[in-house]
Amino acid sequence: MEKLPVMNTEEFEKRLSDGKYVVEFKADWCPDCSFIKPHLPAIEADFPEYQFLQVDREENLDLFRELNVFGIPSFIVYENGREVDRLVNKARKTKEEVENFIQNAIK
């Protein structure tokens, strides 16, 4: 999973303008982000047609606000620059919940 650097909304949208992505919004201090972290390689392997990216809240607070991401960990699916679906809340997420979300988003 590639961690994105600090970027503004325009840079973020340009980065995602071509291709299929699942973006995890997270923070290192977040216990629920740590809970899902060990499962991310398996989730990523189950959806090889998508590139998985991470955005750190502490490095990209303005981007989080502009995208209305107010809970972490959160996941947003993008295809060719367009948001397809989002799982944005502050609740702890299981591997199964994240995989079900992605599966439903890409149908």
Any idea which residues carry the catalytic annotation? 30, 33
Identify the burial level of 103 via C-beta atoms within 10 angstroms of its C-beta, where 0-12 means exposed, 13-18 middle and 19 or more buried.
exposed
| Burial track 23-32 (b if 16+ CB lie within 10 A, e otherwise) | bbbbbeebeb
Provide the pairing of β-strand 20-26 with 2-3: unpaired
DSSP state, 4?
P
